Amino acid sequence: MRKHSLDRWLLTAILVVLLSSSSSFATKKKAAKKKNSKEVTYDGTSLIIDGKRELLYSGSIHYPRSTPEMWPHIIKRAKQGGLNTIQTYVFWNMHEPEQGKFNFSGRADLVKFIKLIQKNGMYVTLRLGPFIQAEWTHGGLPYWLREVPGIFFRTDNTPFKEHTERYVRMILDKMKEENLFASQGGPIILGQIENEYSAVQRAYKQDGLNYIKWASKLVDSMNLGIPWVMCKQNDAPDPMINACNGRHCGDTFPGPNKENKPSLWTENWTTQFRVFGDPPTQRSVEDIAFSVARFFSKNGSHVNYYMYHGGTNFGRTSAHYVTTRYYDDAPLDEYGLEREPKYGHLKHLHSALNLCKKPLLWGQPHTEKPGKDTEIRYYEQPGTKSCAAFLANNNTEAAETIKFRGKDYVIAPRSISILPDCKTVVYNTAQIVSQHTSRNFMKAKKSNKKFDFKVFTETLPSKLEGDSYIPVELYGLTKDKTDYGWYTTSFKVHEKHLPKNKGDKTLVRIASLGHALHVWLNGEYLGNGHGSHDEKSFVFQKPVTLKAGENHLIMLGVLTGFPDSGSYMEHRYTGPRSVSIMGLSSGTLDLTENSKWGNKVGMEGERLEIHTKEGSRKVKWEKFSGKAPGLTWYQTYFDAPESQSAAAIRMSGMGKGLIWVNGEGVGRYWMSFLSPLGQPTQVEYHIPRSFLKPKHNVLLIFEEEPNVKPELIDFVIVNRDTVCSFVGENYTPSVRHWTRKQDQVQAITSNVSLTATLKCSGTRKIAAVEFASFGNPTGACGNFTRGTCHVPVSKQVVEKHCLGKAECVIPVNKSTFQQDKEDSCKNVVKTLAVQVKCGRGKK
């Protein structure tokens, strides 16, 4: 008995100690969180975080558009590019694809993404929606919302507000549970509710204004300890901060609607998103840098680059006609590689603005207009030497000289020079001293062995059951489960009504609201038609041979995503709307409302999920003979491309369809929709490394069009091993030479001189100098050409400085290249253009 009593006493004592330790640990954890908590407020100058005003450089990176394996690299590169904040939308239709069924795993793991940002010491702006646009299908709204009785999106509508409030509270509660708000010690410092609502507000009149006020009160009532913004919403109700979206908010933004609110720029578009059928589009980094410098010179304190990394619209997630590749011309390209000089030049801009931080945040603004095209904006803190100036030249053709405080400054055409001490130029928006790169797609050696394709072709549906007297609307038919919807009907033609005269033809005419269409008559494929992002409606018209008696018409309606913008999205329609047979002696036969239409949703291969290992066993595959009809599935195996560089598949020889690798949806491709330049808008399609195994990967393609050539497909490795520099001898030396100590801007090095820097990525080293010219060369990285002025020893000088090195620095001056020889073109302002090739260094 004594032994048992002693045992009980010991157990009790141990339990008391454990509970005490647990309580102590929990208390310490709470205390640590309280200690790390940051109050976020604002005034008319900036956001105030933990009592300190801040300049915020933010970049949009959307977690579903890359893989969790890519996130650490992308976030790290963003921080190294000078960002201190990451902005992301929250994608409702990814998190709740079916009502009440939630997904926060894989690419939808929002919490993991935000914690990675926090781990890198950066802030987060969370853009909740509920509508996000973002060139994402349905603007982020789940399809099932369309079927809620009596619903109208984004207005003072009870069903929409009820579902929105439930969603918003669910997301914000999840963030709160994970202690992710700044008030809890987390990284979220700013939230956004709704998105560019002013674009549709007038359509809803008073209900629109009521809705905006309701959305504002909803998030404000949750007391999460962060400010909230509404972008492109100049009448944003208090305490919401109205923010700007656009390319030149320094000129277009009317400013905050209250004096106590800061000037925030929520979207500075780094390029233009692409749609199928588009030619290439770009936005120069000089223009972006100019716009940011101008915004900060006019009391701006926050800029967000939309996008900083665009990524990939995997699977069927893109909005209508939007390419699978998204914002590839951003500072970090689709593969997460640094797109130079956009990445480096903006990094230098952030460094220059940081040197101006104290006067920008605490100084008093002043403006001078010395000339028609010139402007001086400077900030000076009374009683101190703290001063920063922005000298602007708006002349797009010629340099201008600005006299400021007794000194002349030559400012390049359409540019701004930044003087963080009102004396020293450390940066000019038009003069790029960072390196340039050119992207290469190298054919993979391991992956491109002869492909052994097997095929499975869909069977055309016979007369389908249906009781509709008009073709069913395509969004409602597919319910965002597939891109494909079938329509069948039959009609009788009396022999006496068929054309009798030679040359007379009958026509099938189909008017469609979009997006694409395939047509068969009596089992014969007639062809296809499609609209475009700007003109979704189109007419398919083709001569046909009818037979006396019953004829069978089959149409396949094809979606390229749901719409992502505009008012009354829940009432947006698409698909075939009018079908008629023309050329009969009895007149036009209207099949739209005089025939019964049968319908079927999707492909048999989709229903059987043949993109999965299990599903692929459910169909009979046949060896590809070199030719196949449309609506054919192609399957083959391949080994992963060598190295760990980014990988892609080049869809040469194909038409239009969908791609899977090992069951993962790579995205939609559309090679047959050519731009005005006669080229497909997108040829290469990103395959993340996390999708791949070392060997025996399954490639599955669903191809809509007949007679394609899958043997022309190949796999490529993506790199930016072509590195360049293009620096003029009159450029401002790199901002990296400077630092700020108290109120003084000081040189870090004893010799502040202009240089060209070339750096290979990873373990690579400079293996070859492919081009070098000190003179007046022209062109761009990957395509330089000598000009009329060229120093013959240019290449030898560069080789001496660079060959075999991971990084090299070349002085840009005459003495480096002229080497005491007479200048043969004295009146030419020289530029150094260099192109090198990086290769693997030996271990």
Active site residues: 196, 267
Name which of 324, 321, 251, 240 is nearest 292 in CA terms: 251
∠514-519-520 over CA atoms, to 5°?
165
What φ, ψ does residue 295 adopt, rounded to 5°? -60, -45
Q: Which residues pair with 718 in a beta bridge?
A: 441, 646
**Which residues are CB-contacts of 494 (< 8 A; sequence separation ≥ 6)?**
548, 586
Answer for the pair 93, 137: CB distance below 8 angstroms, yes or no. yes
Which two three-digit tokens encode residue 17? 């100690």
Q: How far apart are CA 478 and CA 484, in angstroms?
A: 7
Beta-sheet pairing, 85-89 with 123-129: parallel
Q: Are 810 and 435 in contact (CB under 8 A)?
A: no
- DSSP-derived pairing of the beta strands 622-623 and 538-544: unpaired
Structure tokens at 539: 């007419």
Tokens of 377: 């904006």
Left, alpha or beta for 820 (phi > 0: left; psi -120 to 50: alpha)?
A: left
d(CA 224, CA 370): 47
Closest alpha carbon to 701 in 648, 640, 654:
654
One-letter amino acid identity for 357?
A: K
Q: How far apart are CA 480 and CA 497, in angstroms?
A: 42
Q: How far apart are CA 608 and CA 619, in angstroms?
A: 8
User: CA-CA distance, 136 to 317, in Å (whole number)?
Assistant: 6
Which helix or strand (DSSP H or E) is residue 770 part of?
Answer: strand 764-775
Q: CA separation (Å) from 251 to 149, 244, 354, 473?
A: 44, 11, 22, 44
> How many whole angstroms separate alpha carbon 96 and alpha carbon 140?
10
Distances (CA, A) of 186 to 171, 447, 710: 15, 44, 50
Q: Amino acid letter at 43?
A: D
Determine the Cα–Cα distance for residues 96 and 93; give it in Å rounded to an integer.
5
**How many helices and strands (H and E) does the chain possess?**
15, 45
Identity at 354, one-letter amino acid code: N
Task: Tell me the three state secondary structure of residue 284.
Answer: coil
Q: Are 243 and 257 in contact (CB under 8 A)?
A: no
User: Does the CA dihedral 70-72-73-76 come out positive or negative?
Assistant: positive
Taking the C-alpha atoms of residue 116 and residue 146, their distance in angstroms, rounded to an integer, is 35
Whether 183 and 224 have beta carbons less than 8 Å apart is answered as yes
Query: Residue 414: CB partners within 8 Å, gap ≥ 6?
Result: 286, 290, 393, 394, 395, 396, 430
